[in-house]
């Protein structure tokens, strides 16, 4: 079992990553698998707290101390069972989740949290190697559910409902299933083979996938219940002079095209950073993904702008544990940029316009701390400033109310204002984490199952 004082004898060891200069030349995942002995040793650092604060940070309520203990005992297959009890896609969250559970770990008080994310990924990857075993329901209810959207919320809901014996159809307007997971996250963070393996399992469990399909209200009428998991795909724009110039693009358009190219698809008029001076507006994960993509495409230079002031290097007094630490973060893409000398990061910068004739040649901005006006030369600008909500057409046609932010309004069990219509993930929550999307999808599935069963 985990040793209650293991953390005193064993130091924290982060997951290994490929050399930044090497990985910046390809689209392969940046992380390397840890040895079984290393991961087992790290799991032994778990304190098995009487009150496990890691649960506070995890929207899924993952049974973290339980599977840490099982891994420390070498019982990885048993750990996979405990992990699957709360998380449909640990092979994905173990790669892309920012791990708020680690921020809430008691050892984070000394910045020595248990490496929960690495342990989770190790459990999930071992399961992938063994092969994901389908868990089809032994009985069928004869009830049908439509899930619109195949991102993490929609897929989680679909899998839970199929395993409850319902006939589930997932509609996806893109040409491949996966939503955000397929086209929104670069391959160097999430290789799509793990997603494909999970989708194959879901097909064997009875889920029907219909790509290239945007269902109407009439198309959905025959279903006993509907779950809207349509994401929050409306990007925040920047209404400044010169916005119409060629070379100014939304980040997701840029990232999706590259994901398609990596998948081997022909991409007409692809936006590429090769040989260009690139400016990324936005300091979050999407902006970081743009940086990593631009490096791999061979950008001449990259400047990433953030309107907020530079965060501190350590927690401030107003940001105590176990809250998420609001500190300066250096992503894998930033590490690659530093290694290749490609990146400049600027904080407290407000863009005032784009300069050029036909095509952008510079970005005009103001330093908010000094009020200095500056120009940054550029040939390509990527807008990565977040999203403002879902595309509401389907939701409103079904009669669903929207909240003040334009998201689908839901109650605690993901019910919309329409009796048999539910919503989950970014569509109802706003732009958020994959773990929140999975949690919402599972909650919606539980409510749909209860509704359907009550009407038998």
Q: What is the structure's pLDDT at 456?
A: 66
Altogether, the residues listed in the chain come to a count of: 456
Distance CA 192, CA 186 (A): 9
Q: What is the pLDDT of residues 291-326, one digit of tens each?
A: 999 999 999 999 999 999 999 999 888 999 999 999
Instruction: Give the number of other Cβ atoms within 10 Å of residue 395's Cβ.
Output: 26
Buried-state track 234-269, b at ≥16 Cβ within 10 A, e below 16: ebeebeeebeebebbbbbbebbbbbbbbbeeeeeee
Distance CA 190, CA 29 (A): 7
Q: What is the pLDDT of residues 99-131, one digit of tens each?
A: 999 999 999 998 899 999 999 999 999 999 999
Instruction: Give the number of other Cβ atoms within 10 Å of residue 183's Cβ.
Output: 21
Which CA distances in Å does 205 have to 89, 140, 166, 167, 209?
15, 12, 10, 10, 12
Distance CA 3, CA 10 (A): 10
Position 360 pLDDT exceeds 90 = yes
With CA atoms as reference, report the closest residue to 305 among 332, 322, 320, 284: 284
Model-wide pTM > 0.85: yes
End-to-end CA distance of the chain: 46
Q: pLDDT band at residue 1, thresholds of 50, 70 and 90?
A: very low
Structural domains for the chain: 6-130 (1.10.1060.10), 144-233+389-454 (3.50.50.60), 248-383 (3.50.50.60)
Strand 421-423 to 225-228 pairing: parallel
Q: What is the structure's pLDDT at 19?
A: 95
Distance CA 19, CA 429 (A): 37
User: Taking the C-alpha atoms of 216, 219, 220 and 223 in order, what is their torsion angle to the nearest 10 degrees?
Assistant: 180
Are the beta carbons of 143 and 224 closer than 8 angstroms?
yes
Which CA distances in Å does 182 have to 91, 176, 186, 190, 257?
14, 8, 8, 9, 11
Structure tokens at 321: 């544990």
Mean pLDDT confidence for 257-284: 97
Helix (H) or strand (E) holding 296: helix 285-297
């Amino acid at each position: 079992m985990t040793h209650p004082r293991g953390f005193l004898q064993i130091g924290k060891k982060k997951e290994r990553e490929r050399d930044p200069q090497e990985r910046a030349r390809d689209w392969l995942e940046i992380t390397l698998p840890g040895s079984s002995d290393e991961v087992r040793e790290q799991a032994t650092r778990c304190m098995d707290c009487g009150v496990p604060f890691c649960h506070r940070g995890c929207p899924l309520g993952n049974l973290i101390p339980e599977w840490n203990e099982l891994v420390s005992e070498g019982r990885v297959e048993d750990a996979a069972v405990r992990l699957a009890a709360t998380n449909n896609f640990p092979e994905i969250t173990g790669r892309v989740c920012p791990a708020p559970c680690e921020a809430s770990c008691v050892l984070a008080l000394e910045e020595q949290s248990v490496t929960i994310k690495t342990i989770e990924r190790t459990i999930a990857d071992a399961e992938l190697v063994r092969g994901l075993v389908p868990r089809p329901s032994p009985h069928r209810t004869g009830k049908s559910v439509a899930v619109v959207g195949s991102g993490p919320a929609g897929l989680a809901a679909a899998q839970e409902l199929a395993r409850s014996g319902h006939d589930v159809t997932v509609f996806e307007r893109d040409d491949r299933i996966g939503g955000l997971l397929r086209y929104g996250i670069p391959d160097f963070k999430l290789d799509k083979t793990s997603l494909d393996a999970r989708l194959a399992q879901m097909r064997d469990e009875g889920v029907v996938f219909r790509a290239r399909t945007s269902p109407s209200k009439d198309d959905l009428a025959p279903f006993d219940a509907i779950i809207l998991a349509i994401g929050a795909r409306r990007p925040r724009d920047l209404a400044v002079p010169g916005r119409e110039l060629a070379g100014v693009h939304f980040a997701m358009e840029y990232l999706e095209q590259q994901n398609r190219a990596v998948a081997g698809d022909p991409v007409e008029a692809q936006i590429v950073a090769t040989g260009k001076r690139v400016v990324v507006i936005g300091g979050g994960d999407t902006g970081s993904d743009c940086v990593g993509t631009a490096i791999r495409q061979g950008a001449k230079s990259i400047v990433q702008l953030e309107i907020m002031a530079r965060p501190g290097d350590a927690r401030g007094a107003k940001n105590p544990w176990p809250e998420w630490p609001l500190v300066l973060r250096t992503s894998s893409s930033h590490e690659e940029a530093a290694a290749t000398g490609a990146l400049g990061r600027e904080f407290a910068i407000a863009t005032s316009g784009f300069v050029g004739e036909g095509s952008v040649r510079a970005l005009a901005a103001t330093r908010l701390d000094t009020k200095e006006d500056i120009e940054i030369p550029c040939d390509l600008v990527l807008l990565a400033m977040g999203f403002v909500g879902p595309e509401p057409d389907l939701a409103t046609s079904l009669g669903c109310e929207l909240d003040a932010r334009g998201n689908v309004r839901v109650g605690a069990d993901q019910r919309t204002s329409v009796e048999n219509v539910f919503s989950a993930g970014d569509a109802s929550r706003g732009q958020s984490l994959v773990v929140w999307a999975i949690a919402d999808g599972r909650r919606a599935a539980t409510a749909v199952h209860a509704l359907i069963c009550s009407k038998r």
